[in-house]
Structure 1
Amino acid sequence: MFKNYLKIGLRNLLKNRLFTVINISGMAISIASFLIIALFIWDEWKFDKHIEDVSLKYRIYNELFSEDGRVRKGAMVPPMIAPTLAAEYPEVESYFRFLNFNYPVLFEVGSKKMTEDKGGYADPTVFDMFSLKLVEGDRKTALKDLNTVAINTTLKRKYFGDKPALGESIEIFDVNYKVTAVYEDFPLHSHLQLNYLLSMETVNQQIPERMKRWGWNQFHTYIKLKPGADASQLEGKLKAFAERHAWPETKPNGSYYIPHLMPMEQIHLHAGDQVWDIAVRGSAQTNYILTATAIFILVIAILNFINLSTARAVSRVKEVGVRKVVGALRTQLIWQFISESMIIAFIALLIGGLLTELTLPALNSFTDKRIPTGIFLDPLLLLIIVVFAMLVGIAAGAYPAFYISSSRPAQILTNKQHGRSGKFLLRKGLVVVQFILSFFLIIASLVVSQQHTYMRTMDMGFDKDNLLVIRIRGNEMQRNLAAAKQAFSDHPNIISATMGYGLPGEAYAGDGIKDKETNKDWPISMLTVDHDYIKTLGIDLIAGRDFSEDLPSDERSAFILSEAAAKMLGHANPADALEHPLAWNRWDAPDSLKEGKVIGIVKDFHLNSLRENILPVVLHVYPFAYSSMTFRIKPDNLPATIAHLESTWKRFNSEWPFEYKFLDDNFDKLYKSEEKLATLFTFFTAFTIFVACLGLFGLVVYSTTQKYREISIRKVLGAEESTLVVHLARTYALLLAIAFVVAIPFSYYAAHTWLQKFAYRIDITPVLFVKAALFIMVMSLVTVGIQSFKAARANPVDALKEQ
C-alpha cells in the first residue's frame, strides 16, 4: 500500500513541476533556516550543563544602589561575602572566589617569556566548583599554599612540552610560583574560561586588611548549596545579611548593595545586565527572538504548502471522484495526499540538511562557535530530524488532504461543487497570516539593525578613532615614564600621547570622592590621568581649564569633573562646580588624603556601552597608578607607526613582548552580540520574504491560470493590459494592507520591549513602519505584477479556444 502511495505521489509531483519546485524550494530554505537557528540555540543551551550538581551552584551578584538614584547589577562582589555566608548559613556547603587580572601577565620559564591572559587569584575549590579534571596534582592540596599556581593543559604544553609540570616553577610578578596542578582546559561550553590560577592565599597574606573590606567589589564569587537547601529562602535572607555586615561600611560612602543568587547554568544567557563580568556571554533575548524567527519561517512554509495545495484541489477533485466511485476509502485518499506532502518534506529535508552543512562553517566563524560539521550523522539527532520532517509533512498536508477527500463523487462528476468561496476566503486568510509574520520580522530586523548602527555611530563624548593603546611594562619603563612617553611620541605620525589608568571600554577605579563642603563621600568613576589625557582622547572641556604641566600644583591638588559628577555634587549648572573642594584617599599612602579643588568641567562621555547610563567621572593627575599609554595617531602609513613604537618599546623593555590594540576594539567587543543578532536577523528575514513571495507567486500563477478565459473576454471587449494587471493585483494589495494594519501593534510592542534594555536607543517612528510596508508591498506586487502582466499579454484566442 505504501509503495503505491509513494508511486502515485511521485507521479503527481512530476506532473505539476512548478508547484513542486515552489513547495520544495520554500520548504528546503525554511527547514535549513530552522535547523541553523536550532543548532545555534542548542549550542547556547549547552553552557555549564556538564558541571556536576550544577543545580546546587550559584553565582553571587550585587544589586548596587547609589544616593543619586542609580541602580546597577554588578557581577563582582566583596571578598568577605562568601566566607561569612558559609560561616553563618548551614545550607552553604562550599564557596569559590576569583580575583581577575584585567591585563596580560608575563610568564617566564627558562628562556621562554610570554604574556598570558585569562587568569587571576582563585580559591582551591575551583576544581570542584567547575568539575575540572586534574591531569597532574591533587585537588585537595593544589592552590592551598602561598605562591602556587595551577595551569591548564594548553599552557603546560606551551612551557613544559611533554614533561610533567608538577613541582616546576613559573616566574610571575618577579616571584617564583610553584606548579601544584595541571587541569584540562575549561570545556568549550563553560561560561568561565581560565588559563591559569594563582593561590588566593597569596592575596590573603599580601593585603589582609583589604580582604576584610565589604566595599571592595572585585571578586567573582560562587557558592554550592547542600542538597535539599532552598535557594530562594537563602536569597530572602541576604538583604538583612548585607544590612548587618556591609551597610555600616558602604552607606557612609553614599551607596549600598543587596546580594542575589543566580543559578550557574543561567549565567551565560541571563547575566547580560551585570556589569564587570568576565563570563562568556550569550543572550536569552537573542535566543527568544531567533526561536520566534525560526518558527515564523517554518509556519510560512507550511502555510504556503496548504495554500497551494488547496488551490490545486480544484484540479484534482475529478481524480478524487473517480477513485471514490471505484471504491477508494476516504482514509486511503487522506493518506495518499499526506504521503505526497511527506515526500516533499523529506526531499526538502535532504536539501535543507545539505544547505545547513554548507552554511555551518560560516556560522561558526561569525558566531565564534564550534558546531561540528557532519552533526547530522549522529543517530539520535538524525532520528529527531526524520521525525521532525514527518511532522512537518503531516502538518502541511493534513488540511489539504481532509479538504480534497471530503468532496462527494456525485457533486464532483456533475460539476456541482459548493463552498468554493469559503475555501478561497481561507486562502486569503493564510496569505494575510504569512505577511503579518513577514512584516513583523522586517520591523524587528530594521529595529535591531538601526539600534546597532546607532550604538556604533553615536557620539560617545570623545573621539575613539585612531587611538592606539600599549601597556606600561617593565621596571625601566616604570622608572622613566616621562622619558618613555617622549620617546614614543617622537614620530611625525604620533599626534599626541597620554598615560593613565582607566580608558573607555576598559577597567577603571570606582573609588569614592569626598565632598569637603558637606564632608560626604560619593561613589564615582575614577580616572587617574596625565596632563594630556583630555586632549588626546578628544574630550570637550566646557568650563574652567585643563591640567597643565606648567603648574606643579595640578598633580597635587587639582580635579576635573564630568557634567554628571558636577550635578551629583549639587550643581545644576556644571560650571558652578569650579573651585569646589574635594578629597581622595591616596592609593600609595592609605592614611593620607589628596586634597584640592575642581579646576575644570568636561562634557559627559561614555565609559561603558550604550546599554548603561552616563556615569559621573572625576579625573586627576596621579602617576603612581599609570598602567597604559594611549597615542592618537595619523591613519596614514600605519606599519611605519607600529614599527616606531615597537623599536622604542625594545629600548625600554627587553623582557615583555611588544603588544598593542586600538581603543575602538573595546566597543566592537561590547556591541558584538547586537552585531551578530542584526546580521542573523537580516539573513533570516530575507529568507522569510523569499519564501513568502515564492508562495505568493505560486498562488498568483494558479489564480491567473483559472482566470485566463475571463481575462481573454475582457481583452476582447477592449480592456487595456494595465487595467487587467491592476484588476488581478488589487486583491493581493488589499490583503497586504490588512496584514500591515494587524501587524503594526504587535511589531511596535515587541520593538519597544527589546529596546528597553538600552539606556540609549533609537526612537520607534512611523517611518520605520512605512519602510517595512513599502518593502513588502514592492516585493509582493512585483511578484504578483510579473505573472499578472504575463497573463494580461496572453493571446485571448488561445484561451477562448480551450475547452
Structure 2
Amino acid sequence: MLQNYIKIGLRNLMKNKLFSLINICGMAISIASFLVIALFIHDELQYDKHVVDVSRKYRVYNEHFNDDGRTLKGAMVPPMIGPTLMAEYPEVEDYSRFMNFNSPVLFEVGTKKNTETNGGCADPSMLEMFSLKVIEGDAQTALQHPDEIAINQTLAKKYFGDQPALGEEIKISDDVLKVAAVFEDFPIHSHLQLSFMVSMENLNKEIPDRMQSWGWSQFHTYIKLKPGIDVGRFEAKLKDFAERNAWPTTKSYGSYYIPHLMPMENVHLHAVDQRWDIAVRGNAQTIYILSGTAIFILIISILNFVNLSTARAVSRVKEVGVRKVVGAFRAQLIYQFISESIIIAGIALLIGGLVAELVLPVLNNFTEKNIPTAIFLNPWVVLVLFLSVFVIGIAAGAYPAFYISGYKPAQILSNKNSGRSGKILLRKGLVVLQFILSFFLIIASFIVSDQHTYMRTKDMGFDKDNILILQLRGDMKKNPEAVKTILANHPNIISASLQYGLPGEAFAGDGIRDKVTKREWPTSMLLVDHDYIKTLDLKLIAGRDFSTEFPSDIHDAFIVSESAAKMLGYANVKDALQHEVAWNRWDKPDSLKEGKIIGVVKDFHLNSLRETISPVVLHIFPYAYSSISFRIKPENIPATLAHLETVWKKYNTEWPFEYRFLDDNFDQLYKGEEKLAILFTFFTGFTIFVACLGLFGLVVYSTSQKYREISIRKVLGAGDSSLIFGLSRSYLILIAIAFVIAIPLSYYAANEWLQKFAYHIDITAFLFIKAALLIISISLLTVGIQSFKAARTNPVDALKEQ
C-alpha cells in the first residue's frame, strides 16, 4: 500500500511540474535558511556548557547607583568581594578572580621574543573554575606563589617546542616568572579566552593596599555555590553584604553598589549591558530575532503549500470522486495526499540540507565561527531532519488532505459547488498572513540596518577619522614626551598626544571628588597631555585648554565634560570654572591630587551608543601614559607609517611595530550589530522570495481558471491594461490589508528592540512607506508578469478549449 502511495505521489508531482517546483523550491529555501539559523543558534547556546558543575558557578557583577539617579552595571568588581563572600557565607564553596592586562606584554624565552595578549593575574582556583585540564604541573598547587605563571598549550608549544615547559622561566617585562602549569587551550565555546595567567600573589606583593579595596573595580570574579543552594535567596543577601563592607567607603562619596550573580553559562549572551567586560560577547537579542526569522520563513513555506494545494483542489476533485465511487475510503485518500506532501518535504529537505552545507562555510567565515558543515554526517542532525520530513509534511499536507478528501462523489460528478467559495476566503486569509509576516520582517530589517548605520555615522563629539595609535613600548616609556616630539616630526602628522584612555576602549571608571562637599562623583578619567583635545578635535565650550604656557597645569588643572559640570551642580557650565576638585592618585592610593577646573568640553561618546554619555574628566598625569595618538593626513599613509616605524625601531629592538586606528575601536563595538543587520537582511530577502513564489503559483493557477472569462472580456473590447488591473487588484487589496495589520505589530517590536540603545533612530512613517513600496513593487512584478501573459492570450485559442 505504501509503495502504491509513493508511486501515485511521484506521478502527480511529475504531472504538475510547475506547482511541484514552486512547492519544492519554496520549502527547500525555507529549510536551508532554517537549518543555517538553527545551527548558528545551537552554536551560540553551547558557551560554557563544557564546564563541570556549571549550574553552580556564577560571575559576580555590580550594579552601581549614584545620588543623581544614574545607574550602570559593571562586569569588573573590587578585589575584596570574592574572598569576603567565601569567608562570610557557608553557601560559597569556592571563588576565583582574574585581572586582565589591558595591553600586550613581551614574552622572552632565550632568543624568542613575542608580544602576547589575553592574559592577566589569576587566583589558583581559576583552573578548576573553568574546568581546564592541566597537562603539566598540578592544578592544586599552581599559582600559589608569587612569580609563577600558567600558560596554555599553544604558548608552551610556541616557546618550548616538544620539550616540557614545567619549571622553565619566562621573562615578562622586567619580571622572571616560573612556569607552574601548562593547561589545555580554553575551549572555543568559553566566554573567557586566556593564553596565560600570572599568580595573583604578585599583586598582593606589589599593591597590598589596593588588594584590600572595596572600590577598585578591576577584577572579573566568579563563585561556586554548594549543591542545593537557592541562588535567589542567596543573592538577596548581597545587598546587606555590600552595605556592611563596601558602603561605609563608597556612600560617603555619593555612590554605592549592589553585587548580583549571573550564571556562568549566561555570560556570553546576557551580559551585553555590563560595562568593562572582556568576555566573548554574543547577544540574546540576536538569537531571538534570528529564531523568529527562521520560524517565519518555515511558516510561510508551509502556508504556500497549503494555499497552492487547496487552490488546485478543483483540478483533483474528479480524481477524488472516481476513487470514492470505486470504493476508496476517506482515510485512504488522506493518506495519499499526506504521502505526496511528505515526498515534497523529503525532496525539499534533501535539497535544503545540501544548500545549507554550501552556505555554512560562508557563514563561518562571516561570523568567525567553526560550525560543522557536514550536516549529513552528524547523526543527531540526520535524525532531526528525518523526523522533520514527517512533521513538515503532515503540517503542510493535513489541511489540504482533509479538505480535498471531504468532497462527496455525487457533488463532484454533478459539478456542484466544487469551488467551495468559503475556501477561497481561507486562501485569501493565508495570503494575508504570509504578507503580514513578510512586512514584519522587512520593516524589522530596515530598522536594524538603519540603527547600525546611525551608530556608525552619528556625531560622536570628536573626530575619530585618521587617528593612528601606537602603544608605548620598551625605552619609549622612559621619556614619552621626547619620543612623541620625534615621532610627530613629519609633514603628514598634524598633531599628536600622549594618554591613558581613548574613546572606544574598555577601561574602568574613576571618581572625582568635590572639595567643597567632600562628595565623590563617578566619572571616566582620561589621563592626557596638553595636545589631547586638539588631536581628537574635542569642542571646548568654556574656559581654556591645557597649555604649556601655564606650568601649573601639569599639577592642578582639570578639564571636564558638560555632563560632568552639570553633575557637579552647574546648570551653566561656565560657572564650573575654577571649581575645586580632587582625584585619588593611582601611584599613591592614599594621596589626593587637588586642582581647579579650567575648561569644559562638549559631551562626547567614550562607549557604544547602547550606553548614555559618561561624565568625563581630563587631567595631565604623565605617570599613566600608555599610548600615543596621531592625527595624520589621509594622503600617503604608507610614508607616514614608514616614518613611524623607523623611529619606533630606534627605541624598540624587541617589540614589533604595531599600530591601529581609532575608528577600529568603534568598528569592533558595532561588529555585532553589523553582522545582525547583514544576516537579517539576507534571510528577510529569502522570506520575501518564498512569499512571492507562492503568490506567483496562486496567480498562475487563478489566471488559468479565468482564461474563458478573460477571452470573453477581450472579445467585448476590454483592453490589456484593464484586464491586468482586474487580475492584480484582488492581490493588491490582500497585500494592503496585510500591511495595515503589520504596522502596529512591527512598530511595537521595533520600539522594544530600540529601547536597548541609549541613542537610536526614530521610527518614522518613511520606514513603513519604504517597506510597502518594496513589497508592492515585487508583488506587482510577480503578479503583473503572469497577468500580462494571460491578458495577451488569443481569445480564439482560449474559447476553442472551452
SS at match of 1:65: strand
* Cα deviation 1:685-729 (Å, max 9, x = unaligned): 000000000000000000010000001101111111111111111
1:591 Cα shift? 4.2
* Counterpart Cα distance in 2 of 1:518 and 1:224: 41
Query: Hey, what's the Cα distance between the residues in 2 that align with 1:776 and 1:15?
Result: 32
Write out per-residue CA displacement over residues 358-399 of structure 1, whole angstroms, 9 at most, x where no aligned residue: 111110011111002213211222011111122111111111
Q: Secondary structure at the match of 1:103?
A: coil
Matches within 5 A, 1:613-632: 613-632=612-631
Do 1:509 and 1:527's aligned partners in 2 also have CA atoms closer than 8 Å?
A: no
Q: Which amino acid aligns with 1:652?
A: Y
Supply the distance in 1 between the matched residues of 2:227 and 2:432 (Cα, whole angstroms): 53
Range moving further from structure 2, 31-40 or 592-601: 592-601
In 2, Cα distance between the equivalents of 1:483 and 1:202? Answer: 32
For residues 195 and 79 of structure 2, what CA distance do their matches in structure 1 show?
Answer: 22
Q: Which residue of 1 aligns with 2:326?
A: 326
Alignment of 1:767 with 2:766, yes or no, is yes
Whether 2:113 is the aligned partner of 1:113: answer yes
CA contact (8 A) 1:79 1:216 kept: yes
Find the counterpart in structure 1 of residue 424 from structure 2.
424
Secondary structure at the counterpart of residue 524 of structure 1: strand
- Verify the 8 A CA contact 2:143 2:150 in the aligned structure 1: yes
SS at match of 1:594: strand
Instruction: State whether residues 508 and 526 of structure 1, in contact with CA within 8 Å, keep that contact through their aligned partners in structure 2.
Output: no
Note the C-alpha offset of 1:592: 3.5
| SS, match of residue 608 in structure 2 | coil
**Counterpart position of 1:777:** 776
Partner residue of 1:696?
A: 695
User: In 2, distance between residues paired with 1:141 and 1:768?
Assistant: 61
Matched, 1:443 2:446: no
CA distance in 2, matches of 1:173, 1:148: 14
Corresponding residue for 2:338?
338
CA displacement at 1:510 relative to structure 2: 2.2
Supply the distance in 2 between the matched residues of 1:135 and 1:29 (Cα, whole angstroms). 46
Give the CA deviation at 1:550: 2.1
Report the counterpart of residue 144 of structure 2 in structure 1: 144
Alignment-mate amino acid for residue 488 of structure 1: L
**Partner in structure 1 of residue 638 of structure 2:** 639
1:82-93 correspondence runs (5 A): 82-93=82-93
Q: What is the CA-CA distance between 1:106 and the residue it aligns to? A: 0.8
Instruction: After TM superposition, give the deviation of residue 509 of structure 1 in Å.
Output: 5.3
The aligned amino acid for 1:166 is L
Cα deviation for residue 202 of structure 1 reads 1.1
Identity %: 72
1:758 maps onto 2:757 in alignment = yes
**Does structure 2 retain, via aligned residues, the 8 Å contact 1:272–1:281?**
yes
- Cα deviation for residue 105 of structure 1 reads 0.8
> 2:681 is matched with which residue?
682
How far apart are the structure 1 equivalents of 2:454 and 2:270? 24
Residues 115-134 of structure 1: pairs in structure 2 closer than 5 A: 115-134=115-134
Q: Does 1:235 align with 2:235?
A: yes
Query: What amino acid sits opposite 1:33 in the alignment?
Result: S
Counterpart residue identity of residue 657, structure 2:
F
Is the CA contact (8 Å cut-off) linking 2:218 and 2:508 kept in structure 1?
no
Q: Provide, for residues 539-569 of structure 1, a one-character-per-residue CA deviation record: whole Å limited to 9, x for no partner.
A: 1111111111122111111111110011011
| Matched residue, 1:469 | 469
Do 1:508 and 1:527's aligned partners in 2 also have CA atoms closer than 8 Å? no
Write the distance in 2 (CA, Å) between the matches of 1:593 and 1:685. 57
Q: Is there any run of 5+ residues in structure 1 with no aligned partner, and where?
A: none
| 2:759 aligned partner, one-letter code | Y
Aligned residues: 802
| SS class of match (1:620) | strand
Letter in 2 for 1:686: G
**Rounded Cα–Cα distance in structure 2 between residues aligned with 1:201 and 1:477:** 28
Task: Kindly state the Cα deviation for residue 516 of structure 1 after the two structures are TM-superposed.
Answer: 2.2
Equivalent pair of 2:255/2:520 in contact (CA under 8 Å): no
Q: Distance in 2 between matches of 1:231 and 1:536?
A: 49
Whether the aligned pair in 2 keeps the contact of 1:502 and 1:509 (CA below 8 Å) is no
Q: What are the Cα deviations for residues 181-235 of structure 1, in whole angstroms up to 9, with x where unaligned?
A: 0000000111111000001111111111111110111110000011111111110
1:572-629: per-residue Cα shift (whole Å, max 9, x none)?
1112211112222222334443222111111100010000001111111111111000
Q: TM-score, normalised by structure 2?
A: 0.99
Of 113-122 and 482-491, deviating more is 482-491
Separation in 1, partners of 2:579, 2:380? 70
Q: How does 1:531-680 map to 2 (within 5 A)?
A: 531-680=530-679
| Residue in 1 that maps onto 2:396 | 396
TM (norm. structure 1) is: 0.99
Q: Secondary structure at the match of 2:491?
A: coil
- Summarize deviations over 1:283-314 as a string: whole Å, max 9, x none: 11110111110000000000000000111110
The correspondence of residues 379-394 of structure 1 with structure 2, limited to 5 A, is 379-394=379-394
Q: Distance in 2 between matches of 1:593 and 1:143?
A: 34
Structure 2 Cα separation of the partners of residues 632 and 480 of structure 1 = 21
Q: Which amino acid aligns with 2:730?
A: T
Q: In structure 1, what is the equivalent of residue 723 of structure 2?
A: 724
> In the alignment, which residue of structure 2 is the partner of 1:203?
203
**Letter of the structure 2 residue corresponding to residue 517 of structure 1:** V
Give how far 1:511 is off. 2.3
Query: Does the 8 Å CA contact 1:501/1:508 hold for their aligned counterparts?
Result: no
For the aligned residue pairs, the C-alpha RMSD in angstroms reads: 1.0
Q: Which moved more, 1:424-433 or 1:510-519?
A: 510-519
| In 2: Cα distance, 1:95 partner to 1:557 partner | 41
State how 1:35-46 maps to structure 2 within 5 Å: 35-46=35-46
How far does residue 749 in structure 1 lie from its aligned partner after superposition? 0.6
Contact 2:269/2:282, CA 8 A, preserved across alignment: yes
* C-alpha separation in 2, matches of 1:227 and 1:592: 45
Partner of 1:407: 407
Quick one: distance in 2 between partners of 1:470 and 1:640?
16
CA distance in 1, matches of 2:649, 2:508: 30
Check conservation: 1:725, 1:788, Cα contact below 8 A: yes
Displacement of 1:676 after TM fit? 0.9
The corresponding residue for 2:705 is 706
CA deviations on 1:12-65 (whole Å, 9 max, x unpaired) are 111111101111110010000000000000001111111111111111111111
Superposition pairs of residues 23-62 of structure 1, within 5 angstroms:
23-62=23-62
SS of 2:464's partner is coil
Cα distance change, pair 699–581 in 1 and its aligned pair in 2 (3 A): same
**Residue 681 of structure 1 aligns to which amino acid in structure 2?**
F
Where in structure 2 are the equivalents of 1:228-307 lying within 5 Å?
228-307=228-307
Supply the distance in 2 between the matched residues of 1:247 and 1:582 (Cα, whole angstroms): 22
Shift of 1:508: 4.0
CA contact (8 A) 1:454 1:762 kept: yes
1:365, 1:490 → 2: CA distance?
A: 41
1:636-668 Cα shifts (integer Å, max 9, x gaps): 222221111111101112222211111111111
State the match for 1:69 in structure 2.
Answer: 69
Aligned 8 A contact 1:19 1:308 in 2: yes
Q: Secondary structure at the match of 2:312?
A: helix
SS of equivalent residue, structure 2 residue 251: helix
The residue type equivalent to 2:551 in the other structure is: P
Partners of 2:217 and 2:508 within 8 A in 1: no
Quote the Cα distance in structure 2 between the aligned partners of 1:721 and 1:510: 71
The answer as to whether partners of 2:92 and 2:226 remain within 8 angstroms in 1 is: yes
Query: What is the letter of the counterpart of residue 218 of structure 1?
Result: Q
CA displacement at 1:5 relative to structure 2: 1.1
Q: Match for 1:578: what amino acid? A: L
Distance (whole Å) between structure 2 residues aligned to residue 49 and residue 593 of structure 1: 46
1:11 aligns with 2:19: no
Q: Is the 8 A contact 1:148 1:180 kept in 2?
A: yes
